[in-house]
Amino acid sequence: MNHLANSMYTAILPREVEQKFGDFNRPGAVIGTGRFMLKLYEKGVRLVFERNPDYFMKGLPYLDGVVIEITPDASARLSLLRANKVDFGHQCAWAAVEEDRSLQKTNREISLTLTPVIGQAMIYFRTDEAPFNDVRVRRAVSLAIERKAWNEPLLYVEGCVDSRPVPCALKE
């Protein structure tokens, strides 16, 4: 029920895919109308996508495919970028932004784009159990939340680095 009330999770999923795979938690059940189709998934290692020949915008995408290598360790990701072993890196944490800045100082050919991003935070209640089955309690919790203080930390900077020499302005 939580997911039905949250726009992040609402999706119309075809019954025939669920019947074929039993659920949507398998790589083969990844479906959609995007530019690329999932060709291979190696858990914790990589995802390989190929161009969707039926993509609705003719002539796109320009690439035949994309490979996403999964590198959980931030220092390993930076090493791969420094060694020019990857074309693009994505950092999604406040600490990583400083690492990206040091990367740009040592590797001038790498462009860095910092982008403000709005994160999400949610509070879920078991409204079928006390005390949250009482609407007055839920309203009291809602009134107790300092929304400005809640929202400020959700706006953070996300860094993207590109090892190809592309003009890019550093935003601070």
Tens of pLDDT, residues 4-43: 666 566 567 788 888 888 877 777 787 777 899 989 889 8
Q: Considering the domain boundaries, does residue 141 fall inside one?
A: yes
| Tally of domains within the chain | 1
Tell me which residue range forms the domain holding 156: 74-172
Residue 163 tokens read as 């090892």
Q: Considering the domain boundaries, does residue 25 fall inside one?
A: no
Does residue 163 have a pLDDT over 50? no
pLDDT of 48: 92
Q: Considering the domain boundaries, does residue 80 fall inside one?
A: yes
Q: Considering the domain boundaries, does residue 78 fall inside one?
A: yes
Q: Considering the domain boundaries, does residue 102 fall inside one?
A: yes
Q: Considering the domain boundaries, does residue 161 fall inside one?
A: yes
- Residue 26: closest CA among 35, 38, 9, 14: 38
Burial 90-116 (b: 16+ CB within 10 A, else e): ebeeeebbebbeebbeebeebbbebee
Q: Considering the domain boundaries, does residue 10 fall inside one?
A: no
pLDDT of 138: 92
Q: Considering the domain boundaries, does residue 98 fall inside one?
A: yes
